Amino acid sequence: MNREMQLDQNTLISAWQERLPALMKDGDSFSLQGDAADQNSLLIHFNAAGHQAYSLDFRCTYVDSREVAVDLVDVEQGGRHTDERTDAVQQLAQKYTRQIHECAQALQNLTNP
């Protein structure tokens, strides 16, 4: 059964900005915005603390009101594109993907009432 999202993007962004910091490690930071091309997607930019200035960009798309698909869009190190296949980047990508899923789960009372 397809459960469509009933939430507008701005409400979703506010909820994520409130909830996501509680799931993050000290020193990491993020910025978040709606994807103009898709009302059900959020673009999340993470800055990793102390990891040689890595930053990772993800697209989090609500497949339905309960499930999100998370895609790593870009990885930079010190402001330059870098290889996303290195162990350090893969570990960061897994950590942030997990945090995105945890946040989506924590917001289910909002997205799947």
Please report, for the chain, the start and end positions of each structural domain, with discontinuous segments joined by +.
Answer: 9-111
- Tell me what pLDDT residue 2 has: 47
Q: What is the pTM of this model?
A: 0.92
Query: CA 67, 45, 65 angle in degrees (round to 5)?
Result: 15
Residue-level pLDDT at 52: 82
- Identify the pLDDT of residue 7: 78
Backbone φ/ψ region at 53: left (φ over 0), alpha (ψ -120 to 50), beta = left
Return the pLDDT at 51.
61
C-alpha torsion sign, points 31, 97, 112, 3: positive
What is the maximum span of the chain, computed from C-alpha positions, in angstroms? 44
Distance (Å, whole) CA 88 – CA 93: 9
Mean pLDDT, contiguous 10-residue spans, the chain (113 residues): 69 95 90 95 93 91 92 94 92 96 94 82
CATH of region 9-111: 3.30.310
Among 21, 9, 39, 29, CA closest to 102:
21
What pLDDT sits at residue 5?
66
